[in-house]
Amino acid sequence: MKPFFIGNIEIKLPIIQGGMGIGVSLSGLASAVANEGGIGVISCAGLGLIHPKTPGDFWGNSIWGLKEELRRAREKTSGVIGVNIMVALTNFSDMVRTCIAEKVDIIFAGAGLPLDLPSYLNPESKTKLAPIISSSRAAQLICTKWKSRYNYLPDAIVVEGPKAGGHLGFKREEINDDHFALEQIVPEVIKVADSYKDEKQIPVIAAGGIYSGMDIRRFLNMGAAGVQMGSIFVTTEECDASIVFKNTYIKAKEQDMRIIQSPVGMPGRAIDGAFIRDVETGARRPKACPFHCIKTCDYSKAPYCISQALYQAAKGNLGKGFVFAGLNAYLAEKINSVKEVIMKLKTDFSASN
């Protein structure tokens, strides 16, 4: 596996650990991946729940929690640390400003088009910007808008296919359509990135359902500079979620991987469970919205509070929540260290030559 650059930052191992919220990828997992030469990514979703420093101040707690996770990560690694920020977050601006002020290496922004992301930079900013998109059309739109408005192009582009876990940037009918498969859209996004190569080298990172060294080789051979992997790092010792959450992956079977409708208005991939079945029968209804953390979520019509559901699941309270996961998450067999996972990926990558 060859290293690559995002701007002036060398990524020695072309593996980006996907940002997983709420409370799944924090400083523990991110620092472990960074120590192996990849990019460790902290998810900022729900940090106000995880770090309730000041009771009743979700927004202030979110900022403090992000700073705290970054501080902890920096104590454990000198490697590359990124932060995943959902564009749909109500406090998107706060999270971006905090990342830039804290000199985070890279912001990964998805779950919406981050059309104004470069507007937060200043002449002293060192943070790189990488949108997460699901089509070449979205990649072209972002490049065009950023170039015309801010004279800035993405430092990298993550293209996420329909086999990913969590929220998906596809309609339900597109998820199993080969025209929207990652193998189809990666070359299309690379073509967009290459059209700007005289101005800037924009590495393309493939994401969604990538689980093995053979998968990595396939997408690198297509021209991707790296891959983003999430589910494979859930079943590691360093993952910040509870052992109950991790064991849900290990116990899952292929038929348990399913598509649900999220309250934020997007389909999502999760592992089937009692909570999801309760939602489908109408047994769950949120009584109030204590956070209004997602711009597109209307709690008066939502069957449950997704922030609380994901937070409770990460803590191991699966009666009150559910587990997002990529299509291949059921392949997990045991808990390993991040070092062991990456060693196996390297071995399988070499063997697939």
User: Domain limits of the chain?
Assistant: 4-241+333-351, 243-329
Query: Residue 222 above 80 pLDDT?
Result: yes
Place of tokens 């399913």: 258
Contact in structure between 208 and 161 (CB atoms under 8 Å): yes
pLDDT of residue 90: 87
Query: Residue 287 above 60 pLDDT?
Result: no
- The Cβ of residue 163 has, within 10 Å, a number of other Cβ atoms equal to 21
pLDDT of residue 285: 63
Architecture of the domain defined by 4-241+333-351: Alpha-Beta Barrel (3.20)
Which one, of 110, 118, 99, lies nearest residue 159 by Cα? 110
pLDDT of residue 81: 98
Mean pLDDT value across residues 78-85: 98
Mean pLDDT in the chain?
A: 93
346: part of which helix (H) or strand (E)? helix 338-351
Query: Omega before 63 cis (within 30°)?
Result: no
Instruction: Read off the tokens for 237.
Output: 């010792």
How far apart CA 35 and CA 38 sit, in angstroms, is 7
How far apart CA 6 and CA 317 sit, in angstroms, is 38
pLDDT tens per residue across span 310-348: 999 999 999 999 999 999 999 999 999 999 999 999 999
pLDDT of residue 109: 97
Q: How confident is the model at residue 88 (pLDDT cuts 50, 70, 90)?
A: confident
Which one, of 55, 75, 68, lies nearest residue 83 by Cα? 68
Between 168 and 15, residue with greater pLDDT? 15
Which one, of 327, 328, 258, 273, lies nearest residue 304 by Cα? 273
pLDDT of residue 297: 66
Instruction: Read off the tokens for 192.
Output: 């967009």
